[in-house]
Structure 1
Amino acid sequence: MRTYDFAPLWRSTIGFDRLFDLLDETQRATEDNYPPYNIERLGEDRYQISLALAGFNPDEIAITAEQNVLTVEGRKADKEQHEYLYQGISARPFKRQFNLADYVQVKGASFDNGLLRVELFREIPEAMKPRRIPIGDGVAPEKIEQKRAA
């Protein structure tokens, strides 16, 4: 796998710290593929993450949204000792993190038939949405104020 040196970009850019941190973190990530998951786009500003959590109960799963990171953790409560001849359903503890874009919020979560679904939506504040700027008639703003005062 290739590794990239982002040092030249750090020297010539301002305000892209989070982007470079995400890229750097992605390069260093050596996480396993447990639990398997899907990320779906349901609409222009709607998303859904589905995690396959066979063998877990809803009370053994914790979902935390903090800043721009969604964390899903699971820990199986060992109440009984079983003697397995073969154990194909994994019940090991896990911690899966998802980096969220700005203004992406967690709408809700549901657990059905071993599938955890986390619904996300992007809600851009009114102040950040594009707005139309009126074009004046070429009169300087100071002259307009002077005309109104007279």
Structure 2
Amino acid sequence: MSRMTPFASPLLLGFDTMEKTLERLAKGNDGYPPYNIERMRAEVAGEPERLRITLAVAGFSDEDLEVSVEENQLVIRGRQSDPGERQYLYRGIAARQFQRIFVLADGMQVDGARLRNGLLSVDLIRPEPERMVRKINISVSD
């Protein structure tokens, strides 16, 4: 027996990769580090939509963090090195690695990233897409 998915509709052609991406994201989400996504106010009318993703990355330096765009995904990785010369009496703050993936809509662009006071902010813009209408010629054969 095969399972029906929302993307199995005959009207949704070519969305099978999106379904696989959503399944992978659902499996790999452990909640660390916590993050916010906010819509930024437009400073000038007609400016493209702006979003900001803010992750709580206290203890990470800019050398420990990597922000990249891979195909249509924003990937944020954090790798802390564990200095071996320290001798802890109690260790409640672990040097934990993480990877957060955000799927970007078509046309979404990363405008920049900034680390300040333990918060990593990644700014995104979504320019208004060009409206294109293309006429398809119909060939007739008898």
1:113 aligns with 2:117: yes
TM-score normalised over the length of structure 2: 0.73
Residue 136 of structure 2 aligns with which residue? none
The alignment's C-alpha RMSD in Å is: 2.5
C-alpha distance in structure 2 between counterparts of 1:21 and 1:46, whole Å: 27
- Name the one with the larger helix percent: 1
1:35 aligns with 2:39: no
C-alpha distance in structure 2 between counterparts of 1:118 and 1:89, whole Å: 25
5+ long unaligned stretches in structure 1? 131-150
Task: Assess if the C-alpha contact under 8 Å between 1:68 and 1:102 holds in 2.
Answer: yes
5+ long unaligned stretches in structure 2? 42-47, 134-142
C-alpha distance in structure 2 between counterparts of 1:11 and 1:48, whole Å: 33
C-alpha distance in structure 2 between counterparts of 1:72 and 1:91, whole Å: 16
Query: Which deviates the most, 110-119 or 74-83?
Result: 74-83
What is the percent sequence identity of the aligned residues?
44
Helix, strand or coil at the partner of 1:119: strand
1:80 aligns with 2:78: no
* Aligned-pair CA distance for 1:19: 4.1
Which runs of structure 2 are paired with 1:30-109 in the superposition (5 Å)? 30-43=28-41, 45-109=49-113
* Aligned-pair CA distance for 1:84: 2.5
TM-score normalised over the length of structure 1: 0.69
Larger Rg: 1
Task: Assess if the C-alpha contact under 8 Å between 2:7 and 2:15 holds in 1.
Answer: no
Q: May I ask how many residue pairs the two structures share in their alignment?
A: 124
C-alpha distance in structure 1 between counterparts of 2:49 and 2:74, whole Å: 17
Quick one: structure 1 residues 90 and 41, their matched pair in 2 at CA, closer, same or farther if it must change by over 3 Å?
farther
* Aligned-pair CA distance for 1:35: 1.0
